[in-house]
Amino acid sequence: MDLARVLANLLLWAHTLAEVTAEWSHTTDHRLHVSVLGRATTGARFRVYGGGLFAYTLGLVDLDAGERDGVSLDELYALVCLLREVHSTREAA
C-alpha cells in the first residue's frame, strides 16, 4: 500500500482525537512505524498506528534503524505532502 495514503489515513484518525501525541520509529526490519495516541470525546484512549517500508520514506525521515522519535502531526502532514509530490512528479515523467 502507498505510504502516503497510510499516513494520510492515520492523520484523519488523529484529528478526531484530543491530547494527541505521535511517535515514529525505524524498526530493525527496515519499516517505518508511526503510532498516534489520543483521547476521544468520551474519554477513551486510542492508539492508532500504521507505516510501511522505510525505503518508501525516500530519505525524508532521518532515523537510523532501531531509532524512534516524537513527531508532530504537522511533520506527518508535511511528509505526506512531500511523498505525494514525489509520486506525482514520477507519474508525470
Tens digit of pLDDT per residue, the chain (93 long)? Answer: 599 999 999 999 999 999 999 999 999 999 999 999 999 999 999 999 999 999 999 999 999 999 999 999 999 999 999 999 987 777 776
Count the domains in the chain: 1
Rg of the chain's alpha carbons, rounded to an integer? Answer: 14
pTM listed for this prediction: 0.88
Domain that holds residue 65: 3-92
| Nearest 10 degrees: Cα torsion 71, 82, 12, 32 | -50
What are the grid coordinates assigned to 46, written together? 486510542
